[in-house]
Structure 1
Amino acid sequence: MKISLLMATYNGEKYIVEQLKSIYNQTVKPDEVLIADDVSNDRTVELIEKFIEQHDLKNWKLMINSSNKGYKKNFYDLIQQATGDVIFLSDQDDVWEKNKIELMTKELEKNAKIKSINAAVKYVDSEQSPIEVKLKPDFYNENLLHYRGNLGFLTSIPLASMIVANITPGCAMCFSKDIKEEFLETYDFTLPHDWHLNLLASIHGGCFFMNKVLVKYRIHANNAIGTKYGSNLRELILNYDRTLRSIGIKENLDILEVLREKYNFNDNSSLQAINYLETRYRFYKRPTIYKYFKMKSFPEYEYTTNKKGRLWDLLAVTRITDLAFKIVKN
């Protein structure tokens, strides 16, 4: 089984060497490593070139984009170039456990049904010290994965769950070449690339979660998946801009409709998940108390919305939030 590893970089000089080392030290080595730098203006390229030269890595290739593409297009182009049977995605600032590639490829080799595997992550700070996260009921993987019941070592994730939210960062996933061409054909750069890949895998019944921490996911100023709302009141208010939220949900619904037409998925759970997103979209377009309680009646609402979000949605009905937006934007 040929293994490809893809890394997109941009101004990552601070942590890039640690990540390169964690890839180099894998118990199972990738057959090709493709790195695309998105026109960094720091020492990222210099450090990568030096690492490749020092370790005489003939199968590692560094490419420098002619212009800044953004992370979605950068990864898309890398996936297009990958030749492996299994493809790993890598960020520039995390640290992989030594047996990450070994464990994940072993499961793919055992079961042809598997199209993507998503490993668990552990949040760490800039110095790799663990960040403790209190898990909510029925949540796993630093509160990224909602699942009722006990997870085994490898658990199939249904399409309905993937429609509502992704389950782990892309740096913790790998996928089979079986869905590569489907991704290249259907990806429209709306969703993050890793979420789109997991959607395709789940459509085929092949999206799995591996309940083992294989990535130290670094939380810092430029990479804050676990702390995206910040503590600044202005940032908090702007984050809950219902106009932007409605646009985002509508874009997600549009790509889901394309996938539904192509793959004809009509199971009740998936349709309910889509109905939930449609209800949420209608609420953000024009909040009313009726729409609020209808949205709140979906079980998906409770596990995808935190306490601040639920309070903000309730306040949106009174239009207090609209006034807050006007104040902070002026």
Structure 2
Amino acid sequence: MVSVALCTHNGAEFLGAQLHSILNQTRVPDEIVISDDASTDATLSLALEIFGDRTAPALTVMQNSTALGVTANFAQALAACSGDLLALCDQDDVWSPVKMEQMLAEFAGRPGLLLLHSDARLVGQDGEPMGATLFGALSLSAEEKRSVHQGIAFSVLLRRNIVTGATAMLRRELLERAEPFPASWVHDEWLAMIAAATGEMDMLEAPLIDYRQHGRNEIGVSSLTLRIGINRLRVSRADRNARLLNRAQSLADRVESSGFALTESDAQAIEEKLCHERIRSGLPASRARRLRPVVAEWSTGRYARYGLGLQDIVRDLTQPA
């Protein structure tokens, strides 16, 4: 049985196209769970109108009187799903007609597969292609793709997240391992990390959704232009580094408390990632005094193994405290 966890918030403008793309799949899901995060527009009435008197797929609708936020809302939607396989779904995208069919084929042939995600075609507010893909915008390298296909996605995810929830499907077993979602993580990043740490995760390189980019995306895509990069260097480093440290600590704590059967190298990598983020978070406010500890940390190779390499080094040396 396959469930779709669809989260909405004031999505009436785009929700119709998304729902029709789900209902027109070559393999229609068995259940759709809509968790609405305190919408004030016609989102839910539109959804009910589209479903009409349909008896399949089964529809469950939940409405939050107070907005929970993206991660908590997805946690609620996933918890309400009854399927063995769970597809994450945003309100403003459009699925390829064969998305479900192609993803289910992968899960059917690979019983150890916990999470599968795909590329996406980037489209504008009007649905017109932007001439780019999600993997392209993320600058996903051939080496990173190869690592994921070879079953070593964990090393990639310790450096950066490459999984976008709107493209992902997971086994219920993974949700049970990952719950509850830590406050310092976004739901899709956390699910991907637990999947890679405790089992098998993979990707399909075909773009299986149109990923709509507009001014109201809760989480969107932005390529790293020169202007964006320079602006980031002017922003205080405190919040980002505290968040990265909290995430590393949450991962280490969950691994310890849950007793996951990690390989020795993966367990050591989690500890080294935590050490790396502690050092970065604790760098002095004075830029001049950061040089020695940053060079020392660079010499360990951890900037490359557990971060963005030169990009993080430049940040650590130049960003204001």
TM-score by length of 2: 0.84
Query: 1:80 is aligned with what amino acid?
Result: A
2:248 counterpart of 1:242: no
Q: Who is 1:259 aligned against?
A: 254
Q: Who is 1:142 aligned against?
A: 137
After superposition, give the CA deviation of every residue in 1:194-244 in whole Å (9 maximum; x if it has no partner): 1111122112231111111101111111225322889988x9359842110
Does structure 2 retain, via aligned residues, the 8 Å contact 1:158–1:205? no
2:116 counterpart of 1:106: no
Does structure 2 retain, via aligned residues, the 8 Å contact 1:240–1:312? no
How far has the Cα of 1:252 moved from its partner? Answer: 0.6
Query: 2:188 is aligned with what amino acid?
Result: D
Cα gap change, 1:259 to 1:77, in 2 (>3 Å): same
Mapped partners of 1:213, 1:303: distance in 2: 28
CA RMSD of aligned residues (A): 3.2
Query: 1:96 is aligned with what amino acid?
Result: W
Mapped partners of 1:11, 1:245: distance in 2: 29
Q: Who is 1:282 aligned against?
A: 279
Which of 127, 135, 156 lines up with 2:151 in the alignment?
156
Mapped partners of 2:234, 2:44: distance in 1: 33
- SS at structure 1 position matched to 2:40: coil
2:49 counterpart of 1:47: no
Q: Which moved more, 1:122-131 or 1:29-38?
A: 122-131
Q: Who is 1:23 aligned against?
A: 22
Cα gap change, 1:204 to 1:46, in 2 (>3 Å): same
After superposition, give the CA deviation of every residue in 1:126-172 in whole Å (9 maximum; x if it has no partner): 1222334599xxxx453264451774995534322223322221010
Q: Who is 1:210 aligned against?
A: 204
Which of 183, 186, 190 lines up with 1:189 in the alignment?
183
Query: 2:291 is aligned with what amino acid?
Result: I
How do residues 3-22 of structure 1 correspond to structure 2 at under 5 angstroms? 3-22=2-21
Query: 1:314 is aligned with what amino acid?
Result: L
TM-score by length of 1: 0.82
Mapped partners of 1:121, 1:241: distance in 2: 32
Q: Who is 2:95 aligned against?
A: 96
Number of positions where the alignment pairs a residue of Structure 1 with one of Structure 2? 312
How far has the Cα of 1:10 moved from its partner? Answer: 0.5
2:220 counterpart of 1:220: no
After superposition, give the CA deviation of every residue in 1:41-100 in whole Å (9 maximum; x if it has no partner): 122122212112176656122221132111111111111111111000000111111100
Mapped partners of 2:182, 2:175: distance in 1: 14
- SS at structure 1 position matched to 2:82: coil
Q: Who is 1:199 aligned against?
A: 193
Q: Who is 1:131 aligned against?
A: 130
2:170 counterpart of 1:178: no
Cα gap change, 1:53 to 1:280, in 2 (>3 Å): same
Which of 281, 290, 293 lines up with 1:291 in the alignment?
293
How far has the Cα of 1:190 moved from its partner? Answer: 2.1
Q: Which moved more, 1:169-178 or 1:38-47?
A: 38-47
Q: Where does the alignment leave 5 or more consecutive residues of structure 2 unmatched?
A: 285-289
Query: 2:178 is aligned with what amino acid?
Result: F
Q: Where does the alignment leave 5 or more consecutive residues of structure 1 unmatched?
A: 323-330
Does structure 2 retain, via aligned residues, the 8 Å contact 1:187–1:196? yes
Query: 2:128 is aligned with what amino acid?
Result: S
Q: Who is 1:327 aligned against?
A: none
Query: 2:213 is aligned with what amino acid?
Result: I
After superposition, give the CA deviation of every residue in 1:83-125 in whole Å (9 maximum; x if it has no partner): 1110000001111111001000111011101011011122221
How far has the Cα of 1:307 moved from its partner? Answer: 7.8
Cα gap change, 1:205 to 1:300, in 2 (>3 Å): farther
Mapped partners of 2:303, 2:267: distance in 1: 12
- SS at structure 1 position matched to 2:250: helix
